[in-house]
Amino acid sequence: MTQCMEDIRNHTLAYDPFLFAPGGRQTTDPLEAIGTDYDTCRTYCGDSSNSFNWSAFSPQFTGWLLPFLALLAQLPYESDGTWHDFMSLMLTTGSPLLAMYSLTLTILNSRYLKQCLDEAFPGESVRLGALKKNILRILKISQQEPFQLENLDAYPNEAEGGRLKDVERHWWHEAQIAVANKERRFTASLAAQAVSVIIAFSFTWVDAFGSEHIGTTVTAFGLATALCWSWVAIIVLGWFFAGVSISNHPISEAIRQASRLQRNAKPRLASFTAPEELGYFALSRRIAGDVERAGPLYNYAKAFVWTYNVDHLITTLHAHILRQQGTNALSPAPSAGATSITFPEPIPLINLPHSTGAGAPTIAASSHLSLPEVDPEGENKSSYRYFHSEYLGKIGWKRSVRQRMFWSAISAIVLNTSTVGAAFWLDFLTPSIGLGCRSGGILVYWMTSYIVWLLMVSSAWISNHWSVRAAAQHIKKDRSPGNLYLLGAVAVILRLVGKGLAILNSIWIIMHCLFEFTGFYNRCFCLTNRGTSPWLWLDDATIRSLNNTQETWFGLAVLTGVMCMGYIAFMGLWTRANLQ
């Protein structure tokens, strides 16, 4: 293909080709010509690509793509098994927007948690400060693992006068230690891999913008690949700053460890793993879906339930501590300039008529349907507890959940546009300017990541709404579950389609990069644009068009670098200032 283009430009073939100068005007001067039309290219060169050249493929693959693929190994998977770890990788690669959204939402949730604790426990005492620190660390990590609350209305035991006993304070301390021991830290392996990626990528950039390669199309398309994958560094370092656990079930392990050391001190807090035989299904799939999934990536789906658990637990502890201090007020007077948070009354729970009585064992109430407890002999006690119907509509949407979701979405969109979007515009503005195979391939990846994000977030919202409706219908003894089943089926379908598209999108972006490096796109169809004056770039070595082409490359590269480094620095400083 390259030799054929040179022959067309130099008039060495027995025909008079249509040649174009910069700006799209026709010319007969081969030294001025930079392009020809698609029909001339296809007629005399065919539509085949260049043959595979290992010496060209190897430096591009190892310099532009391999460092980011290696960095994917540092993502915090920690889900429920190999398959779900694989899905975490596919969802992250297939929709960087979803991963950035989940990361930002996790950080904003942690900030919300700290605000709640500061408002609920404004005292400066050492014991109160230690309790706040312990609760903050535990509930921050609890975003990673689904958990539920037992009946907190009976906690602490009224026989103790509603006092938070020292042994229970010690329980929180021991649980916090267990969680802290499992927190992910900046290990030597992560540091070594990060440094190697930075060094390799820096050498590639220096070489790309050196005098020998500056202005070449190989540099342009390799740079577009790097911009397209630069989100990996943001997400890997972002999860480090947000704080995640290296354990699949950090809360379960913390509860077990603290309860072994502090007998009879366990608060009504439990990890949530619903028995499969008691699950709620639509289309043979669990309706709850990613709400029940462990792992940081799935935090986007657990925001509703997590917010309720945080509100309920802090409100209850707040009320009991104030009662211990001799006051009945549920909300302390906010300090001057402080954001006022109104704490609700502890949510009342009711027993359904078929309950076996007050002495029957009960299981924790959660924003999803509570499940009956099964005793060691396997007998189903059928003792349910549900939220009172007047509170059902508030679950998952109380207090700034929508606001945190909105700002998480804005942040994710800006970062996604600064990385994948910048890669698209770099390919789009590189001659021949317009939508072609290279820019079109990235555009498909970019738009599909938006679709996956919308599908997964919508599925999580519908799943949460389904749980509220299901609980309300059960309380009202509604025997017409048709609409409820349809709602659950929609949640399942959206989730399955979203994950399927994420897998396909992950495969596509890898194939797109390989097509670029192997020369598959070096064919007439991919090197031309179907505009009013389609033309093909002739010179594969040096761009001799408008000077602003190189300025565009440099500008987009600087934009992406500044956004990535700025976001990482902001997260590091902001989390240190707000979450410590």
Q: Is 471 helix (H, G, I), strand (E, B) or coil?
A: helix
* First-last CA distance in the chain: 60
Burial label for 261, CB within 10 Å (0-12, 13-18, 19+), is middle
Residue-wise pLDDT tens digits, 407-433 = 999 999 999 999 999 999 988 887 777
pLDDT of residue 347: 35
Most confident of 169-178, 249-258, 566-575: 566-575
Residue type, 335: S
- Please give the biggest Cα pair distance in the chain: 103
More confident site: 296 or 337? 296
- The Cα–Cα gap between 511 and 55 comes to 19
For 75-111, what is each residue's pLDDT tens digit? Answer: 888 777 788 889 999 999 999 999 999 999 999 988 8
Instruction: Tell me the angle at which helices 401-416 and 231-242 cross, rounded to the nearest 10 degrees.
Output: 150
**Identity of residue 275:** P
Q: 22: closest CA among 579, 538, 569?
A: 538
Res 324 pLDDT > 80: no
Q: Give me the pLDDT at residue 42, please.
A: 76
Q: Distance of CA 281 to CAs 276, 305, 484, Å?
A: 10, 19, 11
Rounded to whole angstroms, the Cα distance separating 213 from 220 reads 10
User: Given the structure tokens 């995640």, which residue do they identify?
Assistant: 244
% of the chain residues with pLDDT over 90 = 14
* The CA-based dihedral angle spanning residues 69, 75, 77, 78, taken in that order and rounded to the nearest 10 degrees: 140
In 3-state terms, what secondary structure has residue 368? coil
What is residue 26's three-state secondary structure?
Answer: strand
Q: Which of 299, 278, 267 is nearest to 384 (CA)?
A: 278
Mean pLDDT (the chain, rounded): 70
Contacts of 364 (CB under 8 A, 6+ apart): 148, 149, 150, 151, 268, 270, 272, 370
- 353 DSSP assignment: T
Could you give the C-alpha distances from 303 to 112, 184, 271, 367, in angstroms and in order? 12, 21, 16, 11
Instruction: Between 199 and 277, name the one with better pLDDT.
Output: 199
DSSP 8-state secondary structure symbol assigned to residue 469: H
Q: Is the dihedral of CA 125, 126, 127, 133 positive or negative?
A: positive
Q: How far apart are CA 343 and CA 340, in angstroms?
A: 10
At 148-181, the pLDDT tens digits run: 665 444 444 433 444 455 556 677 777 777 777 7
Instruction: Give yes or no for residue 65 having a pLDDT over 60.
Output: yes
